[in-house]
Structure 1
Amino acid sequence: MEMVISFLYPPPPSILLTTMTVVSLAALPFMVWSEMRGNNLKYSKFNNNNNGSSSSSSQKQRLGSSISSRTGMLCLYTPAFLAASASFFLSPSVDLRLLLLKSALSLHFFKRVLEVMFIHKYSGGMSLDVAFTISSGYFSSTALVLYSQSFTLGLPQPGLDLKFSGVVMFMVGIVGNLYHHVLLAKLRTEGEGGGKKEYKIPKGGLFDTVICPHYMFEVLVFWGFFMISQTIYSLSWAMGTTFYLMGRSYATRRWYLSKFDDFPKHTKALIPFVF
């Protein structure tokens, strides 16, 4: 317990934050199990709307209203970017830790918006309910992690100050994530006449070691957020992201195994040589 206290600020006197932290931690087993069993959020390669034509009409009926993938992805990240950016004006502070956290969050989601606009390749669409669910999650988590940080102003620093190590981890994560997103974009080509996207086994970077190095580096980004923040809520957010991406990377590896007979069996899902 003393070791935990040494790198965390004390719990904030907020029923909202306490509730959301407990809910986030309680949802972890369900999130992992759901993704590993194939109950994926329907975007990217897991969007069933992109699968065979025999089920396309039933898919459309089940999805209801949908938007283009590019628009959907912009909807995922823009509200969180606006929330992080607005925090500079809505709650100005000279506190270095809070300033670093605001900057990291803003940079992360701004990078995501730029990737959606200029890097990622798309086909098919995204259902509005999926776009709303993910967008709400990013927006609320961004707002709550900043709200949680506001309770630390004026408090003594944790015994083990991790904020500068967190900046380094965040930068490694964001650069590694961007690099592997660029590699993915180069490997995926649009079909003739705007047809179905052609997927290939990713090569280059760390793709020969894990099939989702972009997820691995994204995990580092969120642990960077935690180390900069050192609050209980940011810890729960980092843990939630880690376990969700573990489940999703496991499902991604299984997807590649089902699509490509020559997929290298030694390639792990998320953690080199381990998982």
Structure 2
Amino acid sequence: MMIPSVLQGFLFQEPPSIIITAMSVVTFMFLSYLGISEITGNHLQYSKFWNVGSQKISAKLQNKLSSRTGMLILYTPAFLAGLASFAIYPDGGFRFFMVKLTLTVHFLKRVLEVLFVHKYSGGMVLDTAILVSGSYLMAAVGMIYIQHLTLGFPEPPIDLQYLGIILFIVGVSGNFYHHYLLANLRGKDEKGYKFPRGGLFDLVICPHYLFEILGFLGVSFISQTLFSFSVSLGVAVYLSGRSYVTRKWYISKFENFPQHVKALIPFVF
């Protein structure tokens, strides 16, 4: 695949491979499709949308999982893959180490949040849990494996890895902070949804998604492979769609929803 010259300064020269190119294209298109599907009403059924927008939901209820179990299925395989990568690929230099570390930390954080931070209502459909879990797993394995293939190839002329580390730290910290705020909206025995306050919730309804995008973008800056950028851009498209419908959901549930609160990006979207 010919990479435009404007991008060549930012990307590794990877071994020529139709498979790697196809993985990058398919990953971006698949994640983008999920984002567009959210906007058109075909939601992945978890969180507040776990039983919305499906004509076949009654048939799927027999495969309903608790939110905690479903979310553990979402993140645990990718975390274990990241952890295993340190044994499978023990060498490779600082950049490769940071790709493995940031992916492992990201999914470990999500597992720990599932166990100790989040409060739950609703549930998750098994189909959704398997689909999202597989997507995260393939993204993590793909980024690590393709990074391994770049070993020995020339470094990109423009080095983004240290900027990527900063972006990842900002992303993972901001994501955790806003998950913590969401968790503390509810009392011990409360199950319903409340309008979130604090942090960037005063400007956007899904700041946790914004920081998750920044975290993935940070990983792609560290990695600087075409596949990693495909993942981060695909995640951005998906979470943009998810945040858009989340804002619509809050508007439908709260009559006093402040119109200046955007979906994802303050003052813009």
TM-score by length of 2: 0.93
Superposition pairs of residues 15-54 of structure 1, within 5 angstroms: 15-27=18-30, 29-48=32-51
Q: Which residue of 2 aligns with 1:234?
A: 228
CA contact (8 A) 2:77 2:133 kept: yes
Q: Which residue of 1 aligns with 2:73?
A: 75
CA contact (8 A) 2:92 2:148 kept: no
CA contact (8 A) 1:189 1:199 kept: no
- Kindly indicate whether residue 182 of structure 2 is the aligned counterpart of residue 184 of structure 1: yes
The alignment partner of 1:40 has SS state of coil
Superposition pairs of residues 89-108 of structure 1, within 5 angstroms: 89-108=87-106
Cα distance, 1:13 vs structure 2? 2.8
Q: Which residue of 2 aligns with 1:208?
A: 202
The alignment partner of 2:44 has SS state of coil
Cα distance, 1:243 vs structure 2? 0.4
- Kindly indicate whether residue 112 of structure 2 is the aligned counterpart of residue 109 of structure 1: no
C-alpha distance in structure 1 between counterparts of 2:266 and 2:48, whole Å: 22
Cα distance, 1:28 vs structure 2? 5.2
Q: Which residue of 2 aligns with 1:14?
A: 17
**Which has the higher mean CA deviation after the structures are superposed, 175-184 or 34-43?**
34-43
Unaligned runs of 5+ in 2: none
What is the aligned length?
265
Cα distance, 1:70 vs structure 2? 0.4
Cα distance, 1:11 vs structure 2? 3.9
Q: Which residue of 1 aligns with 2:264?
A: 270
Superposition pairs of residues 53-68 of structure 1, within 5 angstroms: 59-68=57-66
Cα distance, 1:228 vs structure 2? 0.3
C-alpha distance in structure 1 between counterparts of 2:238 and 2:188, whole Å: 28
CA contact (8 A) 1:191 1:198 kept: no
Q: Which residue of 1 aligns with 2:157?
A: 159
Cα distance, 1:65 vs structure 2? 1.7
C-alpha distance in structure 2 between counterparts of 1:131 and 1:62, whole Å: 12
The alignment partner of 2:121 has SS state of coil
TM-score by length of 1: 0.91
CA contact (8 A) 1:180 1:213 kept: yes
| CA displacement 1:123-158 (0-9 Å, x = unmatched) | 232221111111111111100111110111111110
Cα distance, 1:2 vs structure 2? 2.6
The alignment partner of 1:207 has SS state of helix
CA contact (8 A) 2:82 2:100 kept: yes
Q: Pick from 8, 32, 35 the counterpart of residue 5 of structure 1.
A: 8
CA contact (8 A) 1:12 1:148 kept: no
| CA displacement 1:83-118 (0-9 Å, x = unmatched) | 001000011114110000000001100000000000
Q: Which residue of 2 aligns with 1:169?
A: 167
Unaligned runs of 5+ in 1: none
Cα distance, 1:66 vs structure 2? 2.2
CA contact (8 A) 1:68 1:124 kept: yes
Letter in 2 for 1:46: F
Q: Which residue of 2 aligns with 1:129?
A: 127
Letter in 2 for 1:216: L
Across the aligned residues of Structure 1 and Structure 2, the Cα RMSD in angstroms comes to 1.8
Identity of aligned residues (%): 53
- Kindly indicate whether residue 108 of structure 2 is the aligned counterpart of residue 149 of structure 1: no
**Which has the higher mean CA deviation after the structures are superposed, 228-237 or 153-162?**
153-162
Letter in 2 for 1:27: F
Cα distance, 1:190 vs structure 2? 5.9
C-alpha distance in structure 2 between counterparts of 1:33 and 1:189, whole Å: 34
